[in-house]
């Protein structure tokens, strides 16, 4: 198996069959103040190795829909379409409807909840755990979707309405389970159809009762290849842990994305090849893998009206 210092690997026919048409909703290509191995054009071109249908590029710090537009001439020659969005961190004004409206107007397909500015994230990374340095003090502060009264703020409610009107993906970011619970209930009331909970067992640490409630609202649960790949300096969990999650939540509510693109880590495509090989070896069916990697993800990105 090839890791970061080796040439990109070629999947077997069985793995390639599963991956054909995959959609990555969590690609960390650059530009970014965090060090990145590849930019969005590199990611789009490399995705052709497995005939990916699309990728969604994520930055914690800026509106990536602008990146896609700025790189349009280069991306026009790339085989895999690239989409962007905005994360509601301090750098864009936090939970800022204006930033969301701008991202949507420029073609954005996703609004990520606060990530590096979420209190849950800051608490999780309050020690030296290897989380990358953004290259200086960005004057971030804690961002929340809750108002002083503990309910969803007017700004956060407006964000959910904007996402609903545009029919795009809304995620809980790195907030704690109770904040995501309140946020997703507001989103559901306001008509958001595409909801995603990131890594419930990493940083977010969603309680079981909240997790079940969110799935009941129609939310999908995301797991990241980066958490299971031995070439990544992250929580290298055994693959059985992911198998157990799939069995518990069900492939119809699960998505698998890369969370790769960082300097020093495997390429996102190599991560997909690795994880599919491992899951096939652990008895996960081709049908279920394609549900999680191709169909659910295409729906969340708005490429399909149903899953």
- Find the mean pLDDT for residues 266-287: 98
User: By the 8 A CB rule, do 104 and 119 touch?
Assistant: no
User: Hunting for tokens 């997790």 — which residue is that?
Assistant: 211
Q: Retrieve residue 135's tokens.
A: 């290259």
Cis ω on the peptide bond leading into residue 204 (within 30° of 0)? Answer: no
pLDDT value at position 2? 38
Domains and CATH numbers, the chain: 13-128+140-300 (3.20.20.140)
φ, ψ for residue 194 (rounded to 5)? -115, 105
What does the pLDDT look like over 196-235, one tens digit per residue?
Answer: 999 999 888 999 999 999 999 999 999 999 999 999 977 7
Question: What's the mean pLDDT when you consider all of the chain?
Answer: 93
What average pLDDT score do residues 163-189 get? 97
User: Across the beta sheet with 54-57, what order do the strands follow?
Assistant: 23-27, 54-57, 82-83
Q: What is the pLDDT of residue 296?
A: 98
Of 39, 124, 103, give the one whose Cα is nearest residue 74.
39
Q: Which long-range contacts (CB under 8 A, 24 or more apart) does 290-293 make?
A: 290/18, 290/21, 291/251, 291/252, 291/254, 292/246, 292/251, 292/254, 292/255, 292/256, 293/18, 293/19, 293/22, 293/23, 293/255, 293/256
Q: At 296, which helix (H) or strand (E)?
A: helix 296-300
Would you say 276 and 24 are in contact if contact means Cβ atoms under 8 Å apart? no
One DSSP character per residue, 247-258 reads HHH-GGGEEEE-
The reported pLDDT for the residue numbered 63 is 98
pLDDT in tens, 95-112: 999 999 999 999 999 999
Q: Considering only CA atoms, which of 108, 109, 115, 111 is closest in space to residue 90?
A: 115
Which tens digits make up the pLDDT trace of 112-171? 999 999 999 988 876 444 455 555 678 889 999 999 999 999 999 999 999 999 999 999
Q: Residue 307 class from Cβ within 10 Å (0-12 exposed, 13-18 middle, 19+ buried)? A: middle
Residue-level pLDDT at 134: 53
**Given this model, what pLDDT does residue 62 score?**
97
Closest residue by Cα to residue 96 from 113, 110, 109: 113
Residues 87, 145 contacting (CB under 8 angstroms): no
Which residues are CB-neighbours of 37 under 8 A, at least 6 positions away?
4, 261, 262, 263, 264, 265, 267
Please identify which residue in the block is written with the tokens 């809980």.
172
Maximum Cα–Cα distance across the chain = 56
Considering the chain, what percentage of its residues have pLDDT values greater than 90? 86
């Amino acid at each position: 198996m090839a890791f970061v210092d080796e040439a990109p690997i070629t999947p077997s026919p069985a793995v390639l069959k599963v991956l054909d048409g995959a959609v990555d909703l969590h690609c960390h290509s650059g530009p970014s103040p965090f060090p990145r191995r590849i930019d969005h054009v590199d990611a789009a071109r490399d995705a052709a190795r497995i005939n990916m249908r699309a990728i969604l590029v994520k930055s914690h710090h800026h509106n990536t829909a602008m990146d896609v537009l700025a790189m349009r001439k280069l991306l026009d020659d790339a085989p895999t379409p690239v989409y962007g969005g905005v994360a509601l961190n301090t750098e864009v004004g936090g939970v800022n409807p204006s930033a969301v409206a701008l991202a949507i107007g420029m073609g954005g397909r996703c609004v990520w909840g606060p990530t590096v500015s979420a209190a849950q994230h800051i608490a999780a990374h309050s020690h030296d755990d290897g989380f990358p340095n953004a290259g200086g003090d960005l004057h971030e502060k804690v961002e929340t979707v809750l108002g002083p009264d503990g309910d969803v703020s007017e700004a956060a409610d407006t964000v959910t309405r904007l996402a609903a009107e545009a029919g795009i993906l809304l995620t809980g970011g790195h907030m704690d389970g109770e904040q995501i619970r309140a946020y997703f209930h507001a989103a559901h009331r306001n008509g958001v159809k595409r909801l995603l909970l990131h890594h419930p067992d990493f940083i977010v640490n969603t309680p079981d009762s909240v997790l079940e409630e969110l799935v009941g609202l129609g939310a999908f649960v995301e797991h990241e290849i980066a958490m299971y790949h031995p070439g990544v300096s992250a929580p290298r969990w055994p693959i059985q842990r992911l198998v157990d999650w799939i069995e518990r939540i069900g492939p119809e509510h699960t998505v698998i994305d890369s969370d790769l693109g960082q300097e020093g880590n495997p390429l996102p495509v190599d991560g997909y090849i690795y994880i599919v090989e491992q899951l096939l070896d652990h008895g996960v069916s081709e049908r279920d893998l394609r549900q999680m990697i191709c169909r659910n993800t295409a729906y969340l990105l708005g490429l399909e009206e149903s899953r």
